[in-house]
Amino acid sequence: MKYPAYIAAGLMAAATLAGPASASNLQSKMETCLTKHANTRQAASITLECNADAGKLSACKVVQSEVPSPGFEKAAICVAEVLPMAGKTGTIRVPVRFPGA
């Protein structure tokens, strides 16, 4: 991965449990979102609050942000669209970290 983006270990474990194809799709989407919305050389840390239902996240909003530009917040919300949630339901917090180059 040219521009890595890391999500909390529990979410990555969920991607792994969803299967190799889903994990590679997640990685690809993370790269696309970051490249589209933010400077890949800068680091950022964002916490989202989302509704989890039927294995997907929706209505995500930024609740904490340590970013050099708002593009990282858009990238985090973009990534949340494809995060597998398995059996989780309700309102959850999702930490997203972009380490920079």
Determine the average pLDDT of the residues in 65-87.
Answer: 86
pLDDT at residue 22, rounded to an integer? 63
Token pair in block for residue 15:
């991607």
**Is 59 within a domain?**
yes
| CA 39 – CA 12 distance, rounded (Å) | 23
Question: Which CATH number fits the domain that encloses residue 33?
Answer: 3.30.2420
- Say yes or no to pLDDT of 32 above 70: yes
Mean per-residue pLDDT, 13-30: 60
Number of independent structural domains in the chain: 1
Greatest mean pLDDT range, 10-14, 25-29, 37-41: 37-41
Q: Residue 54 domain-assigned?
A: yes
Q: What whole-number distance in Å separates Cα of residue 7 and Cα of residue 59?
A: 18
Within-domain flag for 18: yes
